[in-house]
Chains A and B, each alone.
Chain A
Amino acid sequence: MDKKLYVSRSFKNIMIVLIILGLAAVATGFITGATTRTWANLLLENFFFLSITLGALFWMAIQAVTNSGWSAAFVRVPQAMVSYLIVAAILWIVLFFGIPNLFLWARHGADLHDAALAHKSPYLNVPFFIIRITVFFVLWIFLVWRIRKLSQKEDQIGGMVSFNKIELLSKVFIFVLAISFVFVGIDWLMSLDAHWFSTLFAVKFFISAFYHGSAFILGAVIILNKLGYFPFLNKDHLHNFSKYIFMLSIMWGYMWFVQYLLIWFGNIPEETVYFHMRRVEGFQGFFYAEIFINWLFPFLFLMWNRLAKNANALLITVAVLFVGQWIEIYNAIIAETVHKVVFGYLEIGVFVGFAGLFLLIGAISLSKHPMVARNHPYLEESFSLEDYKDKY
């Protein structure tokens, strides 16, 4: 039961090669003068992996708050992502240097001739902007690090003390994340076009983070199961995981549609400009791909009960959803910064680099501790009865 993940040498090497490819892509981008595009891609991937991490940690907090029994054996997967959160904080510091390049309002003297920007400047100014994200990162890391440490302590001493503390901290984390992630969405995605605003924008990205974060956990669990870990994984676990994805696909579609419909119905030029740019000026493909991949595909695909319990079908869904989330953030960022559809070595290279780093950090972090939280009070409930008797 105390089996740890074995990270092979070749896996590490491949991931390091991917990271080097990513660094090379970034360097080439800066050298060839595509500065804005490189910064935009760095922001895209930073946001992509941050939202997956925070979504997965939100999922973990939900499990603790609802006292879910079935997921008790899998909590180590999101807990391993705490390590990436620390790396993400460091990567975010790099991003601070790109602020004037990415954000119109941050350029020197931008608010002198623009009444709207001048009005918003008490909130949208560089020092406050950096302070906000720093405070959020400190809060997130503090809370989830405590949860992770408590869960590891539980392995040693057992009992209910850690469990109760984790439940309390998870409540605090949900509260903090719900508020802070709204501001992250507003700051780093919506303020790319500081004249446009939508009250539903940040909520949609919060749902999206939860959606794709739970999809990532499912993908990781299935792959680890195929590698021989989690031998007790059965159809009911998979069904419970896919219920999250199915439910969140509806939720995501709802948020997307509510935002679109309100703007369509209001028909105010200041608001419709956002969708006009995406629907008419060259981004049609990405615009429709976003809604069809993120909402319609999982909604129809997972409606079949048999597919919702099938590991391979779920793995396909997870892979498709990653593409969907990439497109979603791409739509939010590239249309505002580069103003035209670009897809080339930079997009692929930066993504590959970040993915390598993300997987490497996650795998190493997961391999440090036993894969199953040994003394979790609900562990027995998480195994099916036969499995528990046979194997443990």
Chain B
Amino acid sequence: MKNKSQILGVFNDPDVVSTAVDELLRNNIPIKDVFSPFPLEHVWKKLNMKTRIPYATFLYGVLGTVATFAFLYWSSVINYPLIFGGKPTDSLSFVIIMFVLAILSGVIFTLATYLIREKLWPGKVVNLPDPRSTDDKFVIVIEKDMDMDEATVRQIDELLKKSGATEVNMSNV
């Protein structure tokens, strides 16, 4: 079983968070996550956090296009080839419906994937390490392993304090 204990460094200022992240990375302390009231793009870049969700979106878009084309082709060429206005049955106007449904499928399935992966649903109360990170605090989360000794914990604690954390807490979330 994994111990889920975490060390939280709470900050007041986004710029201080950015330098604190630098300081922690320089000492080879793995940062699990940074919570902030608004996106801090340069911090993401430092943490080298990657997401695969754009690939999922691309896949859903392609699938939506192909599925729409298949349905249009089946319905208006194979199953019920009705000629109107002298146009061929496999018509150029498919493109617009394919385009629009590619966007729809991309958006809806990406949202669904995101919600499922993050285990979110309407009305869920999210367990934040520190709920003040949705308000005016910036929180650096460092995972505390079972086998982490007291000395390392104290070192992390000191590093956070030294780089400007207003408080350092423990959390079990």
Contacts and interface: CB of A to CB of B under 8 A. Distances in A.
A257 interface: yes
Interface string B51-69: 0001000100000000000
Contact of A261 (B42, B54, B92): B92
Interface string A296-338: 0000000101000000000000000000000000000000000
A303 B54 CA distance: 11
Q: Which 3 A-B pairs have the closest CB atoms?
A: A264-B92, A261-B92, A265-B93
Interface string B85-105: 111000011011000000000
A261 B95 contact: yes
A384 B85 CA distance: 59
B95 A267 contact: no
Contacts of B87: 265, 267
B-side interface mostly: helix
Interface in B8-67: 15, 42, 54, 58
A363 B111 CA distance: 48
A385 B15 CA distance: 10
A257 B86 CA distance: 20
Contacts of B95: 257, 261
Interface of B: 15, 42, 54, 58, 85-87, 92-93, 95-96
B99 to A, nearest CB: 9
A385 B19 CA distance: 12
Contacts of A265: 85, 87, 92-93
15 contacts: A257-B95, A261-B92, A261-B93, A261-B95, A261-B96, A264-B92, A265-B87, A265-B92, A265-B93, A267-B85, A267-B86, A305-B54, A384-B42, A385-B15, A385-B42
B126 to A, nearest CB: 29
A261 B86 CA distance: 15
Interface string A265-288: 101000000000000000000000
Nearest to A250: B99
B87 to A, nearest CB: 7
Contacts of B92: 261, 264-265
Given A265-B85, A265-B87, 16 more contacts: A257-B95, A261-B92, A261-B93, A261-B95, A261-B96, A264-B92, A265-B92, A265-B93, A267-B85, A267-B86, A267-B87, A303-B58, A305-B54, A384-B42, A385-B15, A385-B42
Contacts of A257: 95
Contacts of A303: 58
A264 to B, nearest CB: 6
Contacts of A385: 15, 42
Contacts of B42: 384-385
A261 B58 CA distance: 26
Interface string A378-392: 000000110000000
Contacts of B86: 267
A170 to B, nearest CB: 27
Contacts of B96: 261
A303 B85 CA distance: 38
Contacts of B93: 261, 265
A385 B42 CA distance: 10
Interface string A251-262: 000000100010
A349 B115 CA distance: 59
Nearest to A303: B58
A385 B17 CA distance: 14
A303 B92 CA distance: 25
A32 to B, nearest CB: 43
Nearest to A257: B95
Nearest to A254: B99
A384 B41 CA distance: 12
Contacts of B54: 305
B79 to A, nearest CB: 22
B112 to A, nearest CB: 22
A257 B98 CA distance: 13
Contacts of A261: 92-93, 95-96
Contacts of B85: 265, 267
